[in-house]
């Protein structure tokens, strides 16, 4: 138990979870960053605050689409040391499926399409290129693997076999609705939402509730709309920048080797922070410096234009 009476519940790749005396959950977003299922040694300054600030904003924008678990991100319930990076939330029975929506072809979806012409059992048109816009967004769920292991693709039929077809249909409907609202608002801000992953849980009344983070640079691919060019890896405002550096010749790391990844150099750290802050400000129209605890000036060493 902490000095303020919080009971540690779980420590994940990025977030630490505590239970309060009245049974609510306090979710604290750290500055840790993971890539390829490995937590890197190098933190990204302000990352946890960006994830929290953006999730809080998106919960507001999505409130008419799906209920969410957020109680508060401010006030006396939030310990001062975590103000700006913590959310007080309702406890839920989490659904053991990663709910993914894709509107563009990228990442593991692009790799799967190249090998089979499908993603999670959904057949796509031939002739698509990396970064292509799909004819319509698709639901491509995956397993929730334990820390250090890889999520595996699931078909809709797999989800139905695990949870029943009515629940599977509900998850698909909610995931695509969240994506549609996110893509609409992002495009107004000059940003393309390529894909996103959401977490859903069930409350005491049996309702499905949006949980964890939502539409952040950790859980989504965000691309500058004016720089979108199918047929290549896209410039991004998200974690892909770190993935690309780790697998570049300059990093010298083979992610399949089982060896620890290298530490991120200062310019990569700064450029990553810049991207996270930039997409927050583009999407919300707000100055990140106004968010509680935010660093008012980025560390020296890099900027978005450098990427």
Q: Say yes or no to pLDDT of 274 above 80.
A: yes
% the chain with pLDDT above 90: 83
Q: Say yes or no to pLDDT of 148 above 60.
A: no
pLDDT of 224-261, one tens digit each?
999 999 999 999 999 999 999 999 998 888 888 888 89
Q: What is the 3-state secondary structure (H, E, C) of the chain?
A: CCCCCCEEEEECCCEEEEECCCCCEEEEECCCCEECCEECCCCCCCHHHHHHHHHHHHHHHCCCCCCECEEECCCCCCCHHHCCCEEEECCCEECCEEEEEEEECCHHHHHHHHHHCEECCEECCCCCCCCCEEEEEEECCEECCCCCCCCCECCHHHHHHHHCHHHHHHHHHHHHHHHHHHHHHHHHCCEEEEEEEEEEEECCCCCEEEECCCCCCCCEEEEEHHHCCCCCCCCCCCCHHHHHHHCCCCCCCCCCCCCCCCCCCHHHHHHHHHHHHHHHHHHHCCCHHHCCCCCCCCCCCCCHHHC
Give the confidence band of 299 by pLDDT, cuts at 50, 70, 90. Answer: very low
pLDDT of 67-85, one tens digit each?
999 999 998 889 999 999 9
Q: State pTM to two decimals.
A: 0.93
Average pLDDT score over the chain: 92
What pLDDT shows up at residue 150?
74
Q: Say yes or no to pLDDT of 301 above 90.
A: no
Q: Which of 193-197, 230-234, 238-242, 295-299 has the lowest mean pLDDT?
A: 295-299
% the chain with pLDDT above 70: 94
Give the confidence band of 149 by pLDDT, cuts at 50, 70, 90. Answer: low
pLDDT of 84-141, one tens digit each?
999 999 999 999 999 999 999 999 999 999 999 999 999 999 999 999 999 999 999 9
Domains by residue range for the chain, with CATH: 93-244 (3.30.470.20)
């Amino acid at each position: 138990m902490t000095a303020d009476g919080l009971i540690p519940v779980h420590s994940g790749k990025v977030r630490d979870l505590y239970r309060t005396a009245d049974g609510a959950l306090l979710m604290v977003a750290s500055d840790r960053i993971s890539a390829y299922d490995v937590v890197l040694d190098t933190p990204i300054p302000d990352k946890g605050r960006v994830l929290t600030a953006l999730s809080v904003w998106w919960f507001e924008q999505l409130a008419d689409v799906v209920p969410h678990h957020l109680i508060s991100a401010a006030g006396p319930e939030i310990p001062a040391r975590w103000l700006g990076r913590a959310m007080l939330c309702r406890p839920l029975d989490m659904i053991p499926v990663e709910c993914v929506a894709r509107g563009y072809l990228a990442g593991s979806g692009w790799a799967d399409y190249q090998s089979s012409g499908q993603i999670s059992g959904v057949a796509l048109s031939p002739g698509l290129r990396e970064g292509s816009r799909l004819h319509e967004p698709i639901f491509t769920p995956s397993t929730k693997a334990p820390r250090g292991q890889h999520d595996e693709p699931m078909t809709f039929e797999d989800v139905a076999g695990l949870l029943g077809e009515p629940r599977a249909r509900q998850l698909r409907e909610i995931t695509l609705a969240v994506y549609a609202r996110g893509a609409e608002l992002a495009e107004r801000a000059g940003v393309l939402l390529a894909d996103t992953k959401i977490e859903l849980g069930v409350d005491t009344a049996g309702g499905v509730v949006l949980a964890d983070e939502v539409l952040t640079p950790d859980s989504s691919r965000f691309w500058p709309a004016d720089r979108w060019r199918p047929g290549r890896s896209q410039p991004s405002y998200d974690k892909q920048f770190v993935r690309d550096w780790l697998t570049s010749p300059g990093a010298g790391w083979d992610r399949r080797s089982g060896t620890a990844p290298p530490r991120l150099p200062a310019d990569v750290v700064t450029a990553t922070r810049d991207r996270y802050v930039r997409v927050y400000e583009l999407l919300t129209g707000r100055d990140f410096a106004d968010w509680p605890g935010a660093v008012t000036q980025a560390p020296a060493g890099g900027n978005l234009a450098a990427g």
